[in-house]
Structure 1
Amino acid sequence: MQRIDSTAIETMGIPRLLLMEHAGDAVARTVETMAAPSARILICCGTGYNGGDGMATARLLREHRYRVRVLLAGALSRLREEPARYAGMLRHLRVPVRICRTPESIRRAARWFDGADLIVDALLGIGTKGRVREPLATLIRQINAASVPVVAVDVPSGLDGDCGTPQGVAVKATTTVTFGCVKRGCLIAQGPAHTGSLTLDPITIPRELLEHAAR
C-alpha cells in the first residue's frame, strides 16, 4: 500500500494533502455513524502521515459540531509537511491539542480519556516496523483501557499489517477504516481481534493502481 501511495503521489500527481483529506472524510463519516454531533471525540495522533489523517478527521468533525480534542504523541517540530499544515488548521479552529512526549505526560492526560465518548486511533500506520516504543506503548494501553468505542485509521496502531501480530502492544479497535485495499494483517492471526469491523475506502486512489497491486 505504501508503494501504491507513492505511485499515486509521485507518478500520477495526486497531492498527499488530498489523500489525507479523503482519508479524514472516510473516518469522519464512520464516526458520525457511531456518535451523535454532541459527542466528545478524542483523536490520538502520531507525528507521521497516519497522524495527519487523524488531524484531517479532527478538522472535519469540528466543522460538523463535534467536541473534538487531539492528543499528539510527539513534538510539533517532528510533524511532516502535510500533517503540520493540518495542525495549523486545528490551531485556527481552536481545537484543543495536547502534546504528550513521555509516558508520564500521557498518564496526566487521563481526564481526556475519561471524558471521551469515542476515541480515534491515528498513531501508527502500516510503515511501522519493530516493537512499539514509548510513549506510544503507554498511549496504546491507555486507549485499550478506555470503555468507549475506538475507530482505528487504516490499521490498528501496533498491529503488523502483513502478518497480523501485535508489535509488543496493539490497539483493540471497535472498527477500522482502511484505505485503498484491505491489509492482510487485519484478516489473519490476531488481526481480526484487533481490527474489529472493517470498512474499506478507496480515498481517490485510481482503480488501475489498486487492480495492478492485487495481481
Structure 2
Amino acid sequence: MLQKKRGNSLTQKLYRADQVRLHEQDAAKALGVDMFSLMQRAGASVYQHCVSLFPNVDNYLVLVGIGHNAGDGYVAALAAANSGKNVTLCAVEPEREVSGDVAKAKAAWLASGAKVNAYSKDALDKADVVIDALLGTGINGVIRQEFATIIEEINHHSCPVVSIDVPSGLDANTGNTLGECVQATATVTFVGIKLGLTTGAGKQATGKLIFEDLGIGKVFAEYARSDASALDFKHFKGLAPRPVHSHKGTYGRLLCIGGNEGMSGAIRLSSEAALRTGTGLVKVFAHPESVRQISAGRPELMVSSEGLKEALQWATCIVIGPGLGQNQWSKDTFDTTMDYCQQHNKPIVIDADALNLKAVNTSFVALTDCVVTPHVGEAARLLNVSIEEIEANRFNFARQCAQRYDAVCVLKGAGSIVDNQSHSWVCRHGNPGMATAGMGDVLAGILGSLMSQGLSSEMACQYGVSIHAKAGDIVAQKYGQRGLLASDLFNTVRKLINE
C-alpha cells in the first residue's frame, strides 16, 4: 500500500490564471488586505529573491509594460533602489497613462526622484540582472511587435532574468509561447502556481520556479477549486514494509510483451526496470529472434516466444509495446493481447509501438484498467491532431487522450502530465538528459511493476512517474546530463523504491 504524506504544502495545487485573478481579491478582502498592499508584497518579494539568487550584483534593469505586472515591477525597482542598487527602469510606452494600483506604484517610483525611461539596448548591456515585468497573465494572443523585439534582445543577452508571475510572452494556462517569450533564469509567481509554468515550453521558459503566496495562500485555496496538482517525490511515504512471511508470488507477476526482431533492447529495459522496482516475477514474451539477447544478460527474467495466451493468464499485470514493432508479428501479438484483456479484467500499460497500433485500430474497445503512456508524437496519432496542437495545450490533450481511451494517460515530456479523466498531476522532476532512447521503456516497466504489486493505475502513475524522473535527476546531478543512459537509472530506482 502506498500513501501520500499528510500536510502537503499548498504549492501542490495548480491554477488557471483567471482563477488567481478572481479569487486573490476575495482572499485578500477576507483577510483585510487591500490589493495595493498585495502588490507591495509581491514587488518586495521579487527583489528579495533577486538578492538571494544574485547576491553580488549592483546594476538592475527593470522592464515594465502597462498592466498589473508593471506595478509589481515599479515596487521591485523602488525596493532595489532603496537598498542602494543602481536601478534603471524602462517602459515600453513611457508616456502612456496607467491607472489604479499601477499608477500608485509608478507615482511612488517617480516621487523617489527616479525616472521612467524608454527601452534601449544600451541599458540591457549595462545590467547585471533584469527584472521582467513586461507582460502578465492576462495575454492570450500573439504579443505586439514592440514587446517581441525587447524579448528577443533579452533572450540573446547573457544577463540573468527574473520574471514576475510568468515569463512575458507565455500563456499562463497552457504553457504555450505567444510568439517571442522570455527565457527566464527564475520566475517568482504569486498566490497560486499557474498551470502553464509547469509543463512543455512553459517549464523551459520559467527557469527556477519560486512560489510566494503573499500571506493569502491558505484562504485563497478555500475559494479556488483546483483540478490539477504538482507531483513531487517527497510527497510520497513509499511502499509499506514487506512482511517476513511472504514469497516471490506475493509481489506480482508481470508480463512484458515486445522485443520484435532487432528490437530486443526496449523490452529488456522495461522488464529489468520492473524487477528493480520490486516485482516478484517478470516474464517476457518476445519474437523468437530476440529471446537469446534478452535473457543472456539478466537470468532473473523468464523469456519465451511461445504460449502467449498462457502467459496472459499467468500475469497479474501486462506491459505491451516496447520494441513491439508494427509488422505482422506485432499486429498478431497486439490483437491477441487486446482480445484477452477485453475479456478479462487485468491491469495493462500500453506503450510505444502498441500505442501506434492502437491509433490505427478502428475496432478499439475500452479496457477496464488501462494506462497509456504517449509522448507528443504518439498522442498526436492517438487523437488525430498535430504535434504542434499537442504542445500548445498539453493539459487539454492529456485529458482528451485519457477520456478517449478510458484510461489513465501519462503524457510524457518536460513536466510529464498524469491525467485520470477528471484531475491532472504534473511532475516537478526530470531534466533534458532524460531525452534519450529507452527512458520511456524504463518508465513503462516501473508503472507495470507498481500495478503488478497492487497499486491502482492512478496511484502507480503518480508514484512511478515521480520515481522515474527523480532518479533521472539524481543520476544527472552526480554525473551530468549528457551521456545519461536509460539503464543508468536502475540502481537509483531501486534505492528510491526502498525509501
Q: Distance in 1 between matches of 2:56 and 2:85?
A: 5
Q: CA deviation at 1:11?
A: 6.5
* 1:71-110 equivalences in 2 (<5 Å): 71-99=90-118, 106=119, 109-110=120-121
Cα distance change on mapping 1:4 and 1:20 into 2, 3 Å: same
1:102 is aligned to none
Q: Distance in 1 between matches of 2:27 and 2:222?
A: 13
CA deviation profile, 1:123-181 (whole Å, cap 9, x unmatched): 11111110011211111112212211100000001101111010011100000000011
CA deviation profile, 1:177-198 (whole Å, cap 9, x unmatched): 0001111101112111100001
* 1:40-119 equivalences in 2 (<5 Å): 40-99=59-118, 106=119, 109-119=120-130
* 1:142-161 equivalences in 2 (<5 Å): 142-161=153-172
Q: CA deviation at 1:38?
A: 5.5
Cα distance change on mapping 1:38 and 1:96 into 2, 3 Å: farther
Q: CA deviation at 1:33?
A: 1.2
Alignment partner of 2:60: what SS?
A: strand
Tell whether the 8 Å contact from 1:119 to 1:151 is kept in structure 2 after alignment.
yes
* 1:122-133 equivalences in 2 (<5 Å): 122-133=133-144
Which shows bigger deviation, 130-139 or 32-41?
32-41
TM, length-normalised to structure 1: 0.89
Total equivalences in the alignment:
207
Q: Distance in 1 between matches of 2:57 and 2:94?
A: 29
Tell whether the 8 Å contact from 2:60 to 2:88 is kept in structure 1 after alignment.
yes
The residue identity in structure 2 corresponding to 1:16 is M
1:194 is aligned to 205
Which shows bigger deviation, 10-19 or 72-81?
10-19
Alignment partner of 1:83: what SS?
A: helix
Q: Distance in 2 between matches of 1:116 and 1:206?
A: 33
Q: CA deviation at 1:59?
A: 0.7
Q: CA deviation at 1:71?
A: 0.7
Alignment partner of 1:119: what SS?
A: strand
Q: CA deviation at 1:9?
A: 5.4
Tell me whether 1:165 sits opposite 2:152 in the alignment.
Answer: no
Alignment partner of 2:101: what SS?
A: helix
- Whichever of the two has the greater Rg, that structure is 2
Cα distance change on mapping 1:173 and 1:57 into 2, 3 Å: same
Q: CA deviation at 1:118?
A: 0.3
Counterpart among 220, 227, 244 of residue 209 in structure 1: 220
Moved over 6 A (4+): none
Q: Distance in 2 between matches of 1:135 and 1:94?
A: 27
Counterpart among 7, 21, 25 of residue 40 in structure 2: 21
Alignment partner of 1:50: what SS?
A: helix
Q: Distance in 2 between matches of 1:199 and 1:21?
A: 17
Tell whether the 8 Å contact from 2:43 to 2:76 is kept in structure 1 after alignment.
yes
Q: Distance in 1 between matches of 2:206 and 2:58?
A: 23
Alignment partner of 1:47: what SS?
A: coil
Which shows bigger deviation, 54-63 or 205-214?
205-214
Tell whether the 8 Å contact from 2:165 to 2:187 is kept in structure 1 after alignment.
yes
Computed over aligned residues only, the root mean square deviation of the Cα atoms, in angstroms, reads 1.8
1:6 is aligned to 25
Tell whether the 8 Å contact from 1:76 to 1:84 is kept in structure 2 after alignment.
no
TM, length-normalised to structure 2: 0.40
Q: Distance in 2 between matches of 1:9 and 1:139?
A: 34
Cα distance change on mapping 1:86 and 1:184 into 2, 3 Å: same
Higher relative contact order (CA 8 A, sep 6+): 1
Which shows bigger deviation, 33-42 or 126-135?
33-42
Q: Distance in 1 between matches of 2:106 and 2:219?
A: 32
Which shows bigger deviation, 68-77 or 32-41?
32-41
Tell me whether 1:135 sits opposite 2:146 in the alignment.
Answer: yes
Cα distance change on mapping 1:56 and 1:18 into 2, 3 Å: same
In structure 2, the gaps of 5 or more residues are: 1-19, 227-499
Q: Distance in 2 between matches of 1:80 and 1:5?
A: 19
Tell whether the 8 Å contact from 1:129 to 1:160 is kept in structure 2 after alignment.
yes
Q: CA deviation at 1:78?
A: 2.8
